Chain A
Amino acid sequence: QQQVKQSPQSLIVQKGGISIINCAYENTAFDYFPWYQQFPGKGPALLIAIRPDVSEKKEGRFTISFNKSAKQFSLHIMDSQPGDSATYFCAASLNAGKSTFGDGTTLTVKP
């Protein structure tokens, strides 16, 4: 049973557009929701993260929206750039630090 479901599997956006990736979780005990960015052949790196006591967090062009009642959270990339082309993973963690990851979204930003 997958605890974190991520969509879409792939996404193509024009340069300057908005990229939106969604995740849904099942376990209400999760207390940390990070997004990781991974370039081909590299390890993932933290992009932005949120805890369930806030509904939104923004860092530059990247925003997490969090809906606790719906058990959903999403990543918005404003003014998407070709350099944003990568695979994005959402994750959810409990207090032990062990993370459950979504299956990833491959984002392609066309120039």
Chain B
Amino acid sequence: DGGITQSPKYLFRKEGQNVTLSCEQNLNHDAMYWYRQDPGQGLRLIYYSQIVNDFQKGDIAEGYSVSREKKESFPLTVTSAQKNPTAFYLCASSVTGTGLADTQYFGPGTRLTVL
């Protein structure tokens, strides 16, 4: 079965802790993305990567960090510097990171709650 997996589905964090959200894809896609979804605000881009070992900040990168050491993996770390991290986090991938824009395939999401 090809697709994108995210883990865990639910995550609880105490204030001051860093947490890492996992995203894996077996679609052989070059580009991967992280979005944050809050009620009534749509999807906001946190980070994206068009190729291994390279990534760019999105619109709301402050308080987050990523790595792209393997084509199939793009983990997101929510650091203690992110003041309001409670949200639904979505990972996505697409075939090409350059050239014509294309469909994004989304994972099932991770719901992060700060206690």
- Name A's B-contacting residues (CB within 8 A): 6, 9, 31-32, 34, 36, 41-46, 49, 89, 93-99, 101-104
Complexed CA–CA distance, A43 and B41 (Å): 15
Complexed CA–CA distance, A93 and B100 (Å): 9
Number of B residues with CB within 8 Å of any CB on chain A: 30
Complexed CA–CA distance, A104 and B33 (Å): 19
- Name B's A-contacting residues (CB within 8 A): 4, 31, 33, 35, 40-45, 48, 50, 58, 90, 92, 94, 96-109
Residues of A near B98 (CB, < 8 A) are 95-97
Specify which of A45, A97, A103 is in contact with B94 (CB 8 Å cutoff).
A97
B41–A93 touching, CB < 8 Å? no
Complexed CA–CA distance, A99 and B92 (Å): 11
Complexed CA–CA distance, A45 and B3 (Å): 12
Known interface pairs A44-B106, A98-B48; 10 further A-B residue pairs with C-beta atoms within 8 A, sorted by A's residue number: A43-B109, A44-B43, A46-B105, A93-B101, A96-B101, A97-B50, A97-B94, A97-B101, A98-B101, A103-B41
A-B contact pairs, 22 of them (CB 8 A): A31-B101, A32-B101, A34-B103, A43-B92, A43-B109, A44-B43, A89-B43, A93-B102, A95-B100, A95-B101, A96-B50, A96-B101, A97-B50, A97-B96, A98-B45, A99-B33, A99-B101, A99-B104, A101-B42, A101-B44, A103-B41, A104-B42
Residues of A near B108 (CB, < 8 A) are 42-43
- A-B CB contacts (within 8 Å), total count: 69
Nearest A-chain residue to B95, judged by Cβ: A97
Complexed CA–CA distance, A89 and B3 (Å): 21
A97–B43 touching, CB < 8 Å? no
Complexed CA–CA distance, A63 and B11 (Å): 38
Specify which of A45, A94, A101, A102 is in contact with B101 (CB 8 Å cutoff).
A94
Complexed CA–CA distance, A34 and B92 (Å): 14
A96–B97 touching, CB < 8 Å? yes
